[in-house]
Structure 1
């Protein structure tokens, strides 16, 4: 091979190598462009992801703020509805009761506030009764002061409280009335009681009430039969034209033995039903009569109620039965609470009592 041929070969090889380098350079440039495009696309995706993440974070913050505000609003609304509103209502009712003692304070709201309202209503009833007694005393002093005060004090005097008994007596317009009630415990442990309504008003009726009460209480404590007590009272020398109704009872562990001398209203009740106890003879008077004794079951859940016509006549026996059932079902289980509920319902229904009123209530032990 000549030198000239070798030179050509070398030249061709050199050109070929340069061509290969150029091709490789162009290929690398394309690869670099592709890599750059990939990087740019990844950057775009990352930027979009960051934008979405920031938007999601902003939405989450807004949502949490809204939920927190809603929770705070719900708590405030709940406090207002369950606490503040019942308190405002109770406050307005207390103000109304302070201006008008006949305004009934409704027992509403949560348990704690309802208990406060219930206590306030009991206080209002007590104040109404005390106001009535004060009004009665003032009128009594104006009309028949000395005799009225002495006779009424004697009729209202109860030697000692008797378990399971509550009573109330109020004459009309402060005059001397013959209504009375009495309760006691015999030496054998049985509870005894009586309620009476003497005809008329004034000193004559008051003296007859004191005398009849003394006779009846002594006879009951002496264990005399009830019908014999009624017969002895009829034989007593009462003033001409005077008479009185009388209900006497003896409560044993499981029964009530009674004698009713023309007494208008007496019933035996529990939370579900009432049983009227009819008279077992005529009223007590100089005309005499015949009386019998009746016996009815009397359990631990039984409630006995007797009243003079001042409670029944302005409304009806059915209304009194309904009030007694309401008291048994809604009030705490004490005879005082039940009696106060009954008196409050009667007063609200009749706008005061137009006649003498005496009530006695007894419960099982």
Structure 2
């Protein structure tokens, strides 16, 4: 114990205790500054790169859209036309900057895939921009995940910084207490003992305390105690408020999910059913609905806002409301697509696919508008599967004027035919080997379905869960509908009116 006494001996004096407290304070301050610098330069840098990359995707599609318009104009006058060199150079330059940001974020495979899809489009524009849209959606999802990770890292660093502040304050208070204890032990208590000893020696009662010296010190300690109690009360109040906020957020999230998955009753002679599996919690970027139009036809609506989580869910709610309102007022899918564009026109980094299918049992027709939606199929009663091909590009801020951008196609529809709409979470579910479910497999699954929409939705979701080792990486929504064959009247009922 001799070595322990030699270590502790310098701190028995008031000067030694004060120097020790200052040394500890300086050390904690240096650590505090280093962590604060890390908070500002670490996650924020990754988040900034992710934001730049997201804006780069939007800029890339703006150039692609301008190029497609220019190319179609040239093609109208001179036949097939390649991508204009001006737009090709601009698109490749934007892709190069985007690849630089994705490489810095560790998303080199996604960035390379987008660059390769762009290069393929530049060489062979007739193949369309669907592969480019698919790789862009995959990169956008990865960037959203990286933003979430950066936010989590920043939150962890802030919590660490807050904990260090608490330790800093605690150590300072303990150092102050040690200093006060040293002063009391070596000065105040010996003086009090001396006063008592002198009083007992003189056989006279000791003089009342003068109130000097220790009164101010005790007042300071009491002030620190009151301050700590106030901080505890404030912390308890903040914890209560946080608990109330969590409950409010939970109720809000459930309300948003109900809006996204709300399904109105279909029109006469139509049976429809849809379900949504969210990638994060209960909020998704997918939305769907069925709507009876004023002429008795039934409209199927499905969309997929880029990304997932709360931000994509809020934008999906706005887009769905705009689409349904436009259909109720005009019954025109093109007006509904323009209404969806109005919700996304001010967005910098979000776009959506959209498909609207109108089933008319009286005329036996199916009309559809497909704005870049991947899975829109019509399974005939004989088992053949037809693609409800895109009739226009995805909806986003890169579209300057919505008028005339999307068209409506028409085909026949008979009882027993099944319309199947699904978001890309169905085809992009990856197995343990990294292989996606894919469009061909999904088409085969649809070919094997029956005419029951509920059974069709259940079997497709079950196929995703069985195949996908990471099927929760993206929102998956399936909506199916068919015509209902009216029951033949019984003889006693007489002829049908």
1:239 to 319, 344, 347: 347
- How far 1:202 sits from its partner (Å)? 3.0
Partner of 1:250: 358
CA displacement at 1:345 relative to structure 2: 2.5
Deviations 1:166-220 (A, max 9, x none): 1010111426321010002112210111100011223321121111111111222
Conserved in 2, the CA contact under 8 Å of 1:259 and 1:291? yes
Which of 383, 404, 427 lines up with 1:272 in the alignment?
383
1:56 corresponding residue in structure 2: none
**Count of aligned residue pairs for this structure pair:** 221
Q: CA RMSD in A?
A: 2.3
1:336 to 438, 449, 454: 454
Mapped pair 1:309 → 2:424: yes
Are residues 161 and 185 of structure 1, via their aligned partners in 2, closer, same or farther at CA, if it must alter by over 3 Å? closer
Contact 1:147 1:203 in 2 (8 A): no
Contact 1:219 1:229 in 2 (8 A): yes
SS of alignment partner, residue 172 of structure 1: coil
SS at match of 1:285: coil
| Cα separation, 2, equivalents of 1:343 and 1:210 | 23
Report how far residue 316 of structure 1 moved: 1.2
Deviation, 1:158, is 2.6
- Equivalent-residue separation in structure 1 for 2:323 and 2:329 (angstroms): 10
Q: Cα deviation per residue 1:256-309 (whole Å; 9 max; x = unaligned)?
A: 111111111111112421111121111111222511111111111211111101
The aligned residue for residue 298 of structure 1 is: 413
The CA deviation at 1:146 is: 4.4
Shift of 1:161: 5.9
| Counterpart secondary structure, 1:280 | coil
| Among candidates 327, 331, 338, match of residue 220 of structure 1 | 327
Segments of structure 1 that go 5 or more residues without pairing to the other structure are 1-140
Larger deviation: 301-310 or 217-226? 217-226
Q: CA deviation at 1:234?
A: 2.0
How far apart are 1:352 and its partner, in Å? 6.0
Whole-Å separation in 2 of the counterparts to 1:175 and 1:167: 16
Q: List alignment gaps of at least 5 residues for structure 2.
A: 1-245, 430-436, 485-497
TM superposition outliers: structure 1 runs of 4+ over 4 Å: none
2:482 is matched with 363
User: Aligned equivalents of 1:266 and 1:291: distance in 2?
Assistant: 16
| More strand, by proportion | 1
Determine if the alignment matches structure 1 residue 321 to structure 2 residue 443: yes
Larger Rg: 1 or 2?
A: 1
CA contact 2:323–2:339 (8 Å) conserved in 1: no
| Equivalent residue, structure 1, for 2:292 | 185
* Larger CA deviation: 153-162 vs 250-259: 153-162
Q: Does 1:195 align with 2:195?
A: no
